[in-house]
Amino acid sequence: MQEQLFLLNQISDELNKDLDLDNMLQRVIDLTVTHFQATSGSIMLFDEKRRVTKYILQLHNISSDQANRILGQVLGEGFAGWVLEHGRGDVIVDTQEDDRWYNYPNQPYTTRSVVAAPLTRKNRILGLVTIVDQEPRHFRQEDLPLLNAIAWQAAIALENAQLFYQTELERAKLSAIINGSKDAVIVTQGDDNKVQLLNPAARSILQVTTENWQNHPLQTISDLNGLLETVIAQAQDNEEVRLPDGRTMQSNVVDVPNVGRLTLMHDISPLKALDKMKTDFVLTFTHDLAAPLAAIKGFVELMKMDGFLSDQQLEDLGAIQLSVNQMRTLISDLQELTRLETLKNMQRCDIVLNSTLQKSFEAFQPIAEVKKIQLSLDSCADILTTFGNPALVSRAIENLVENAIKYTGPKGTVSIRLSSNGENALIIVNDTGLGIATEKLPNIFDKFYRAHTPGENEIPGSGLGLSIVKTIAERHGGKIWVESELNVGSTFYLALPLQYENEMGD
């Protein structure tokens, strides 16, 4: 009994000492064979499909070639097959009297008695420990509980080792991904931004030369104080950060519970360069188009003055003029949108929206009258003020009202309403016009998108008006959205942040 406890203790020590599976199992089988004073023994491990994945033999003079032959096999026959099938261990007192024993050819020794126990965890057999002897009756049934206890301990250790290996594998994979990423990954913790993780890209971007960055405040490990402050101080997502070397990074900052603040920085310099190319192209192209268009317009006027023209000729010239005007609108809209998108600083002041709406209403009254559309304004009893660029805010409102009148037929109504939800001023432009099909609504604010095909309704337009409104709204920290039903009408909502009196003049 004393000896058995001693052996179990020894095995437990061995199993806890090492997480290397091969070493661990080799020591267990060595100790067990020695304890039983047996000829040899083995431990086999199985996968989910009961194929042998590992075969550890106590007899060190067996070639690995011989031992490896069993790998990959499913043990259905012999004593091993019996133990696997019954899920419990047993003793073979004499192999010559027990037909469960199967003698493999080329055995290095004759086996006459055997004791075997399965390594079981949660109803799954993970492996099998078998001890053999050349003499019959070397093992007795009383030996089985000890081998079961050894197998039980080994199974727990095996499961732990497998879990550890799995976790290690996942950790190594994650680490390879993070370290291989061209995006900078920075994890900091606490108010003093102690660095928990910096991948190589982050170390290069932040110009961290010291190896000693772990757990040090971010500010202390790099010379780029300014940059670090920007990265750390901004809790917002999608901020652009300019690096001293000229690159532009986009940073995403997320607070991850139990981890810290995760900052990802992605190099968007190529996109920025492309965007600049596009802007330059649009501006040059539209600028160069303006002159020939002005010439066409001028020559049409001259032709009209040159002498007698037939009605047909006058009609044709009118069509040319209309097309030229449409192209000029398209060009100026495109220029305006491009400038808006690239605008760095815009002049801002307090804008009283009640007056802005009144002015727009008055400006569109005559146009509505011509189209026999009833235009109304329902301004707010309170004075609602926003902080922004007056010309741009007017432009956004006018685009919405202009569209409402444009896409509404005679006898229709267009109403402009001003209200507030406490945080934002809401400018609501409603019409009883053509409406927009539900499937087209998601694209309505895209550049050049027109929801009504030219064949359907000959309403001229550039498809840029709503993109301009959207850009202006975003530039002011606001939002634009629409509700619409085809052949019923549309309601556009423009939300702009309210400026309260105590904020004014800040």
Select the span of 9-17, 265-273, 352-360, 459-467 touching ligand ADP (CB under 6 A).
459-467
Q: Which one-letter DSSP state was computed for residue 51? A: B
In the complex, least distance from residue 409 CB atom to ligand ADP, rounded to whole angstroms: 11
Q: Which residues contact 80 (CB under 8 A, 6 or more apart)?
A: 44, 116, 128, 130
Alpha carbon of residue 421 to chain centroid? 32
Separation of alpha carbons 468 and 278, rounded Å: 17
In contact, 234 and 251? CB cutoff 8 Å: yes
Among 95, 199, 222, 490, which residue sits at the site for ligand ADP (rule: CB under 6 A)?
490
Separation of alpha carbons 474 and 497, rounded Å: 11
The position carrying tokens 């901004």 is: 234
User: Is residue 432 within the footprint of ligand ADP (CB under 6 A)?
Assistant: no
Q: Which residues contact 320 (CB under 8 A, 6 or more apart)?
A: 296, 300
Q: Report how far apart, in Å, the C-alpha atoms of 433 and of each of 118, 436, 477 are.
A: 80, 9, 29
Which residue type does 104 have?
Answer: Y
Select the span of 52-60, 417-425, 429-437, 493-501 touching ligand ADP (CB under 6 A).
429-437
User: Is residue 433 within the footprint of ligand ADP (CB under 6 A)?
Assistant: yes
In the complex, least distance from residue 406 CB atom to ligand ADP, rounded to whole angstroms: 6
Select the span of 181-189, 283-291, 458-466, 495-503 touching ligand ADP (CB under 6 A).
458-466
* Nearest Cα residue to 79 out of 38, 18, 147, 132: 132
In contact, 451 and 444? CB cutoff 8 Å: yes
Q: Which one-letter DSSP state was computed for residue 432? A: -
The contact pattern for ligand ADP, residues 279-308, with x = CB under 6 A and - = no contact, is: ------------------------------
In the complex, least distance from residue 175 CB atom to ligand ADP, rounded to whole angstroms: 49
Give the count of residues interacting with ligand ADP (CB under 6 A). Answer: 21
The contact pattern for ligand ADP, residues 145-184, with x = CB under 6 A and - = no contact, is: ----------------------------------------
User: Is residue 466 within the footprint of ligand ADP (CB under 6 A)?
Assistant: yes
Among 375, 434, 472, 496, which residue sits at the site for ligand ADP (rule: CB under 6 A)?
434
Closest CB to ligand ADP among residues 57, 436: 436
* Nearest Cα residue to 26 out of 15, 16, 37, 36: 15
User: Is residue 412 within the footprint of ligand ADP (CB under 6 A)?
Assistant: no
User: Is residue 452 within the footprint of ligand ADP (CB under 6 A)?
Assistant: yes
Select the span of 13-21, 57-65, 159-167, 457-465 touching ligand ADP (CB under 6 A).
457-465
Cβ burial of 403 (10 Å; 0-12, 13-18, 19+) is buried
Element (H, E) at 329: helix 311-342
Q: Which tokens belong to 185?
A: 């990954």
| CA dihedral angle for residue 441, residue 442, residue 444, residue 450, rounded to 10 degrees | -80
Closest CB to ligand ADP among residues 91, 466: 466
In the complex, least distance from residue 190 CB atom to ligand ADP, rounded to whole angstroms: 48
CA atoms within 13 A on the CB side of 272: 12
The contact pattern for ligand ADP, residues 367-406, with x = CB under 6 A and - = no contact, is: ------------------------------------xx--
CA atoms within 13 A on the CB side of 84: 20
In the complex, least distance from residue 211 CB atom to ligand ADP, rounded to whole angstroms: 56
User: Is residue 463 within the footprint of ligand ADP (CB under 6 A)?
Assistant: yes
Alpha carbon of residue 286 to chain centroid? 38
User: Is residue 55 within the footprint of ligand ADP (CB under 6 A)?
Assistant: no
User: Is residue 340 within the footprint of ligand ADP (CB under 6 A)?
Assistant: no
User: Is residue 462 within the footprint of ligand ADP (CB under 6 A)?
Assistant: yes
Report the SS3 class of residue 252.
strand
Separation of alpha carbons 413 and 150, rounded Å: 88
Q: Which residues contact 339 (CB under 8 A, 6 or more apart)?
A: none
Closest CB to ligand ADP among residues 107, 326: 326
Element (H, E) at 374: strand 374-378
Among 461, 471, 476, 478, which residue sits at the site for ligand ADP (rule: CB under 6 A)?
461
Closest CB to ligand ADP among residues 239, 341: 341
Closest CB to ligand ADP among residues 29, 436: 436
Among 451, 472, 496, 498, which residue sits at the site for ligand ADP (rule: CB under 6 A)?
451
Select the span of 52-60, 246-254, 351-359, 445-453 touching ligand ADP (CB under 6 A).
445-453
In the complex, least distance from residue 489 CB atom to ligand ADP, rounded to whole angstroms: 7
Closest CB to ligand ADP among residues 41, 461: 461
* Nearest Cα residue to 363 out of 405, 314, 306: 405
In the complex, least distance from residue 444 CB atom to ligand ADP, rounded to whole angstroms: 5
Footprint of ligand ADP (CB under 6 A): 403-404, 407, 431, 433-436, 444, 449-452, 461-467, 490
